[in-house]
Chain A
């Protein structure tokens, strides 16, 4: 299947949503579509699925049998899951026995006789996935398939996709949860600036940030090539995919001077896929300039609290923690990498780092647990998914406080980068 110079807009005189999209989607390939919210990922998926027709260009070679699962399954239908899937199986001319097989694999057998309108979001999402998988489509298009799924299903779904691809199906999906990170068999493209870009090797395992420096960028890790994470330190990933090990002991949770927002803590995706876009650290262990530049402005970080559940200290225990003088090489202030170390900034720019035994020292624990960044895969929600307040072994909970006018952007970027975010309006 191939898209040649495809352009699309919803109305005749409306703005172009996508332009000059040329994309090859050969059989057997899993293609992940990434990009920020509202850039046209879902529109692209609908074009691929044939639910929208391009205004310009052409799409050729689309397989006859297409499975499509929307981001939100339409639960406003007067059917139970079983009767709904039976109807869909009949439409696809598939035996109803396929429903039970999928129910076992996607773990929704217990809700087969529940009405769609009474289902939880996660269960309804599984029904949407199941109807797409019916009949073994030659083209499978999934819009945020991991959203709202429980951990077990998140873990099972990539294998299901891989099986389908191995059988020759073309799989195209969007995934803000980054549940396919680290899979070598996944081809990635990025939707940005109204078109589709191939994702380079470095980008594949790292968030992509706008050149304006407004994006969120984890600071450089201690080493661009992390040593293998010992057993017990790696976070438990429900899906087994996209494992992000805990930051190294001396990762960049460095105390910073007043007035200087820190570079974000290192949260390498995997030890093997740590991005090198931040470049090697400076000899003294601080992020280099490139890292600072890319750190961008995570809004104006006015306070950050880190809680390490592994019990390890985030940095040198003897180092000052809060409102301390600048160390030899200060981390960059967001958006102002060259700010002087002793810049007298308002309190709003101070960073607090708590030691593990007394995390979240200056905010209520309930509030601290509301913002967790760095979840393994998928947002909290769904059956059995861990909540944001319960950080697993080896994971950190950060509270990032930003200016009100920047909150939406920062939240969207963090989510786009696969972190779990819980908004707390205090």
Chain B
């Protein structure tokens, strides 16, 4: 599966489809992320991790869909016959997308991490980085569900992506928040300061992991059950 993942990533990078997300991330880092200071420097620096995750969620989903759609349909068939197993073939794309999203996360978190360390946030930096990594996983599987392999029609695919992202975020403000990406919860925890984020992180991590697993199962079922 590693070879398949590398094949996906190589195609994505060589096709230059990677540029739009990279440019978006760099613009966000340069323009939006400002220095933190004053009495609330530690709390603001920690809160930035939550803000970055909320901003990047749709970008990560978009990146995943872009990467998975880079491979022509016929090549997907060729890869399927070459793959050691069908499950490995189905999972290789999302894993490649997640790897790319983790790289984007590294770029995106460079400035907030430096700010947090300079503000003396300490251990909350790790919690913030892990939070972003988990949110990236959620966004990746959501983007995979909107890829051409699952939704062949381009218009419907885009609609699925936008609708999925919107629903996943908006549901978190409703009584059905347990079924949504817990955006409100992680924003609240991050803006509570380093201690608040560290305290809330285990619950958030479980929620995000379960959500990712559930959507990943939907993706696998959709890919495996197609005629």
Contact B14 A55 (CB under 8 A): no
B3 — which chain A residues lie within 8 A by C-beta?
87, 90-91, 93
Q: Which of B6, B77, B81, B227 contacts A10 (CB 8 A)?
A: B227
- Residue in B closest to A73 when the chains form the complex, CB atoms: B74
Which residues from 204 to 220 on chain B have a C-beta closer than 8 Å to any C-beta of chain A? none
Contact A90 B81 (CB under 8 A): no
A134 — which chain B residues lie within 8 A by C-beta?
82
Q: From DSSP, what is the main secondary structure of chain B's interface residues?
A: helix
B80 — which chain A residues lie within 8 A by C-beta?
50-51
Q: How many A-B residue pairs have CB under 8 A?
A: 72
Assembly CA distance A90 to B92 (angstroms): 14
Contact B75 A91 (CB under 8 A): no
Assembly CA distance A74 to B3 (angstroms): 19
Assembly CA distance A67 to B75 (angstroms): 13
- Residue in A closest to B92 when the chains form the complex, CB atoms: A91
Q: Is B177 part of the binding interface, using a Cβ–Cβ cutoff of 8 Å?
A: no
B21 — which chain A residues lie within 8 A by C-beta?
none
A79 — which chain B residues lie within 8 A by C-beta?
10-11, 14
A50 — which chain B residues lie within 8 A by C-beta?
80-81, 86
Contact B82 A77 (CB under 8 A): no
B79 — which chain A residues lie within 8 A by C-beta?
91
Contact A53 B227 (CB under 8 A): yes
Which residues from 9 to 27 on chain B have a C-beta closer than 8 Å to any C-beta of chain A? 10-11, 14-16
- Hey, what's the 0/1 contact readout for B114-144 against A, CB within 8 Å counting as 1? 0000000000000000000000000000000
Q: Which of B10, B74, B86, B226 contacts A70 (CB 8 A)?
A: B74
Q: Is B165 part of the binding interface, using a Cβ–Cβ cutoff of 8 Å?
A: no
Assembly CA distance A107 to B187 (angstroms): 60
Q: Is A183 part of the binding interface, using a Cβ–Cβ cutoff of 8 Å?
A: no
Which residues from 79 to 106 on chain B have a C-beta closer than 8 Å to any C-beta of chain A? 79-84, 86
Contact A68 B11 (CB under 8 A): no
A90 — which chain B residues lie within 8 A by C-beta?
3, 6-7
- Residue in B closest to A115 when the chains form the complex, CB atoms: B14
A132 — which chain B residues lie within 8 A by C-beta?
78, 81
- Residue in A closest to B226 when the chains form the complex, CB atoms: A53
Contact B14 A131 (CB under 8 A): no
Contact A88-B78, Cβ < 8 Å, known A77-B72, A79-B11, A79-B14: yes
Q: Is A423 part of the binding interface, using a Cβ–Cβ cutoff of 8 Å?
A: no
Q: Is B71 part of the binding interface, using a Cβ–Cβ cutoff of 8 Å?
A: yes
Q: Is B61 part of the binding interface, using a Cβ–Cβ cutoff of 8 Å?
A: no
Q: Name the distance in Å between A80's Cβ and chain B's nearest Cβ.
A: 10
Q: Is A419 part of the binding interface, using a Cβ–Cβ cutoff of 8 Å?
A: no
Contact A74 B72 (CB under 8 A): yes
B78 — which chain A residues lie within 8 A by C-beta?
68, 70, 74, 88, 128, 131-132
Contact A91 B74 (CB under 8 A): no
Q: Which of B7, B71, B227 contacts A91 (CB 8 A)?
A: B7
Which residues from 30 to 65 on chain A have a C-beta closer than 8 Å to any C-beta of chain B? 46, 49-53, 55
Assembly CA distance A70 to B72 (angstroms): 12
Contact A68-B227, Cβ < 8 Å, known A87-B7, A91-B82: no
Q: Is A92 part of the binding interface, using a Cβ–Cβ cutoff of 8 Å?
A: yes
Assembly CA distance A128 to B74 (angstroms): 10
Q: Which residues of B contact A (CB under 8 A)?
A: 3-4, 6-7, 10-11, 14-16, 71-75, 77-84, 86, 226-227
Given A50-B86, A72-B74, A74-B72, 19 more contacts at CB 8 Å?
A: A8-B227, A46-B77, A49-B77, A51-B81, A53-B226, A70-B77, A70-B78, A74-B75, A74-B78, A77-B72, A77-B75, A87-B3, A90-B7, A91-B3, A91-B7, A93-B84, A128-B78, A131-B82, A132-B78
